[in-house]
């Protein structure tokens, strides 16, 4: 049985709601179903990054 080592439990840093568990993920925009805060999440082997999307993009392309 795998013990799930190397997987991260990603939880909303604002309200603590668990979002998902994964060993690897790259998500530009995930919305917490509880507090509606939006995040970008990147999970790679050994690292987890989560940051809040403030939706202040400039759209000059
Ligand atoms: Zn939340």
Q: What is the pLDDT of residue 20?
A: 92
- Give the CA radius of gyration of the chain: 13
Contact (Cβ atoms closer than 8 angstroms) between residue 24 and residue 43: yes
Question: Distance, CA 45 to ligand 1 centroid (Å)?
Answer: 24
Q: What is the pLDDT of residue 4?
A: 54
**Domain 8-52, CATH 2.20.28 — does that match?**
yes
Question: How many Cα atoms sit within 13 Å of 38 on the Cβ side?
Answer: 7
Q: What is the pLDDT of residue 61?
A: 62
Question: Distance, CA 57 to ligand 1 centroid (Å)?
Answer: 21
Residues of the chain with pLDDT under 50: none
* Separation CA 17–CA 6 (nearest Å): 20
Q: What is the pLDDT of residue 41?
A: 94
Question: Distance, CA 1 to ligand 1 centroid (Å)?
Answer: 32
Provide the b/e sequence for 22-53 (b: ≥16 CB within 10 Å).
beebeeeebebeeeebebebebeeeeeebeee
Q: What is the pLDDT of residue 7?
A: 87
Domain locations in the chain as residue ranges:
8-52
Q: What is the pLDDT of residue 57?
A: 56
């Amino acid at each position: 049985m795998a013990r799930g080592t190397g997987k991260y439990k990603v939880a909303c840093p604002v309200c603590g709601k668990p979002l998902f568990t994964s060993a690897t993920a790259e998500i530009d925009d995930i919305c917490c179903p509880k507090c509606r805060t939006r995040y970008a999440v990147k999970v790679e082997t050994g690292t987890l990054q989560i940051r809040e999307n403030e939706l202040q993009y400039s759209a000059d392309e």
